[in-house]
């Protein structure tokens, strides 16, 4: 049994070494001997039970995100489910005129993006959604250019305000509050969504310790082996 565990840890270490820079690999190389904690699921919607050989077994069903149609900084109309099918998503909210919180949060997202090699573009799609209807495609492109040249991997998006707020609240489960009805409201939370559109993590985008876990969790989701329901 011990040799099997070591073998499993070795294989995971090799996979991580291929997918991530040395800093992430060292973290995993040190921790694979311990229990590997796959990111948990969030937002349960139902629990099914059945008796198998005299024992009750329970299976929890979790909320799956519905798609939303938006326009990115390249002027392309995209659907986050259809056009990014099979990809892990890292989602946050911002607006281009935001003076302090958004630039700091976006800088942290940029660090996560750069931690992944350009050859591994299929692992995760970075998704930043503007909550300001005044953010035009040119404004989004100018903002995006400040942080990345990889416009296919990191989308900055705009769209209908009501649809975006509904997506944030009812699909992602974010709590958004505003001091006045006219304020642009957005959360500093960053949301990790797996390839099956289940929510697998919430992170404080302004907290370095919190956001540093994102890269680890993305790789764990990539390595995760589970049956598609």
DSSP string, 8-49: HHHHHHHHHHHHS-HHHHHHHHHHTTS---PPPP--EEEEEE
CA-to-CA distance for 226 and 229, rounded, in angstroms?
9
Q: What pTM was estimated for this model as a whole?
A: 0.78
The confidence score (pLDDT) of residue 116 equals 81
Please state whether beta strands 154-158 and 189-193 pair in parallel, antiparallel, or not at all (unpaired).
Answer: unpaired
Rounded distance, CA 90 to CA 88, Å?
Answer: 7
Positions in the chain whose pLDDT score sits under 70: 1-36, 44, 46-54, 56-59, 117-121, 176-185, 225-229
Q: What is the pLDDT of residue 30?
A: 46
154-158 vs 124-130, strand pairing mode: parallel
Tens of pLDDT along 70-99? 999 999 999 999 999 999 999 999 999 988
Which homologous superfamily does the CATH classification assign to the domain defined by 69-223? Glutaredoxin (3.40.30.10)
Q: What is the pLDDT of residue 15?
A: 45
The predicted pLDDT at position 187 comes to 85
CA distance 74 to 142: 11
pLDDT at 224: 80
């Amino acid at each position: 049994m011990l040799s099997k565990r070591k073998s499993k840890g070795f294989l995971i270490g090799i996979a991580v070494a291929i997918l991530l820079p040395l800093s992430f690999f060292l973290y995993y190389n040190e921790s694979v001997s311990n229990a590997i904690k796959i990111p948990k699921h969030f937002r349960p919607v139902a629990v099914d039970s059945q008796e198998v050989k005299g024992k009750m077994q329970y299976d929890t069903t979790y909320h799956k995100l519905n798609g939303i149609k938006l326009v990115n900084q390249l002027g392309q109309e995209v659907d986050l489910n259809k056009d990014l099918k099979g990809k892990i998503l890292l989602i946050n909210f911002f607006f281009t005129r935001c003076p302090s919180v958004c630039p700091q949060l976006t800088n942290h997202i940029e660090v996560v993006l750069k931690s992944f090699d350009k050859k591994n573009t299929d692992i995760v799609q970075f998704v930043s959604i503007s909550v300001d209807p005044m953010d035009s495609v040119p404004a989004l492109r100018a903002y995006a250019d400040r942080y990345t040249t990889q416009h296919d991997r990191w989308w900055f998006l705009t769209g209908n305000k009501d649809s975006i707020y509904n997506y944030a609240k009812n699909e992602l489960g974010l709590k958004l509050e505003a001091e006045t009805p006219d304020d642009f409201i957005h959360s500093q939370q960053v949301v990790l969504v797996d390839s099956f559109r289940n929510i697998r993590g919430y992170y404080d985008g302004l907290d370095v310790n919190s956001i540093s876990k994102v890269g680890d969790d993305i790789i764990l989701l990539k390595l995760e082996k589970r049956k598609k329901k």
